[in-house]
């Protein structure tokens, strides 16, 4: 789904209005040699292209409307009273962590929905979003619509991700300082894999990838991770107490069996092999072993990655209820689904999840979709 935003002046007037500097250039050029006309043509074409590109085709997450919340997305209307607690969440209730290991500072709709849905489902917990792009002192983040929206939730904190500090005091400290790591093809995914196990070991709580939509409170799932598919665990959701031995073993395995050139080696494969050793198993199954639980797929991965297109298919309210009856959160498999157009509004499964579990983000999506439709006429 695409949405476009910008100033309210007519598009043609905005695109073709020539600035005074360009008018002066015109007069100068016309008074000199004819070849100089070429400069004027290039300058004018460049100006028009710039206005066309940034005014029409620009990603809605980076300019214009997206830098503020409309009246339709007011904090008072969309933040439930149970979250409007002056004192904020109690630290004793644990954290919910999200991590962005790239320099990206323009969150997508799905990113916003992930954090919003977690904040709504955990009103008594601190939802912490750690972003590497903030570590360089970026002060413009608050202008983006997603940060404005998420600031409505008193239990949401967005903080810089300092990887050197995070990995300090762990087996991953020396691994991270090796510069050749950044030549590896999956370094951002590997950094994310590293962050989640270190966060769980150091601080405990809940870790979620930024392509989850949370339906229910996850805090009763302690020392747990989910089965993705037959014989494979996934770390997109983790819930552990701090300094847990299982997470310590994961950190040790991360370094000892490291191979950043193989996709998933430091993520699902790592968790699967550590769990098998932990429980002396050959095959993963739904179970609890030595205090660590492998949750059934329907708990957090109700849509298998092979069936990700189902997220964009229309479903009835009854079908949706049956599908999610035993589900705490839905993984959206953004690596596969991110390029697929989502109609807003619609009866698509994903659209209904947005509407029910992150209504403020959904309202922004609907607003942008309507704006794009108006401009397309």
pLDDT tens for 262-306 read: 999 999 999 999 999 999 999 998 999 999 999 999 999 999 999
What was the pLDDT predicted at 179? Answer: 83
Averaged pLDDT for residues 17-21: 43
Structure tokens at 241: 């107490």
The shares of helix, strand and coil residues in the chain, as percent rounded to the nearest 5, are 50, 15, 35
**What SS3 state is found at 252?**
helix
**What SS3 state is found at 157?**
strand
Tell whether the model's pLDDT for residue 95 goes beyond 70.
Answer: yes
| DSSP output for 164-207 | HHHHTTSTHHHHHT-GGGGGSTTHHHHHHHHHHHHHHHHT-EEE
What was the pLDDT predicted at 77? Answer: 67
Q: Cβ atoms within 10 A of the Cβ of 138, count?
A: 13
What was the pLDDT predicted at 376? Answer: 86
What was the pLDDT predicted at 4? Answer: 30
Band (pLDDT 50/70/90 cuts) for residue 323 is confident
Average pLDDT of the chain to the nearest whole number: 81
How big is the CA angle at 109 (ends 185 and 94), to the nearest 5 degrees? 80
CA distance 279 to 268: 16
Tell whether pTM > 0.95.
Answer: no
Is the model more confident about 128 or about 29?
128
Is the model more confident about 69 or about 166?
166
What was the pLDDT predicted at 138? Answer: 62
């Amino acid at each position: 789904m695409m949405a476009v935003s910008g100033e309210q002046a007519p598009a043609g007037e905005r695109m073709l209005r020539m600035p005074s500097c360009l008018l002066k250039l015109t007069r100068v050029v016309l008074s000199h040699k004819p070849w100089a006309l070429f400069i004027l043509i290039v300058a004018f074409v460049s100006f028009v292209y710039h206005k066309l590109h940034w005014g029409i085709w620009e990603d809605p997450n980076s300019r214009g409307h997206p830098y503020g919340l409309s009246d339709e997305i007011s904090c008072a209307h969309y933040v439930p009273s149970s979250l409007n607690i002056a004192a904020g969440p109690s630290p004793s209730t644990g954290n919910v962590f999200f991590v962005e290991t790239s320099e990206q500072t323009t969150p997508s709709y799905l990113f916003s929905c992930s954090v919003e849905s977690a904040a709504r489902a955990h009103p008594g917990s601190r939802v912490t979003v750690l972003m590497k792009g903030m570590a360089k002192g970026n002060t413009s983040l608050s202008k983006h619509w997603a940060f404005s929206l998420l600031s409505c939730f008193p239990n949401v904190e967005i903080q810089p991700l300092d990887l050197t500090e995070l990995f300090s005091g762990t087996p991953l400290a020396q691994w991270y300082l090796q510069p050749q790591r950044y030549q590896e093809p999956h370094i951002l995914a590997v950094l994310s894999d590293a962050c989640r196990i270190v966060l769980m070991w150091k601080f405990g709580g809940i870790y979620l990838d930024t392509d989850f939509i949370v339906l229910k409170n996850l805090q009763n799932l302690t020392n747990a991770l989910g089965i993705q598919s037959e014989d494979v665990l996934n770390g997109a959701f983790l819930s552990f107490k701090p300094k847990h031995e299982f997470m310590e073993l994961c950190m040790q395995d991360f370094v000892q069996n490291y191979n950043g050139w193989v996709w998933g080696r430091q993520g699902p494969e790592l968790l699967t092999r550590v769990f098998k050793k932990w429980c002396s198993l050959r095959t993963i199954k739904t179970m609890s072993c030595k205090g660590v639980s492998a949750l059934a797929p329907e708990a957090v991965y109700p849509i298998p990655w092979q069936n990700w297109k189902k997220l964009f298919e229309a479903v009835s309210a009854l079908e949706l209820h049956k599908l999610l009856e035993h589900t705490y959160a839905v993984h959206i498999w953004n690596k596969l689904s991110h390029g697929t157009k989502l109609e807003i509004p619609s009866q698509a499964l994903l659209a209904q999840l947005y509407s029910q579990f992150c209504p403020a983000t959904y309202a922004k999506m609907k607003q942008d979709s309507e704006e794009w439709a108006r401009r397309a006429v």
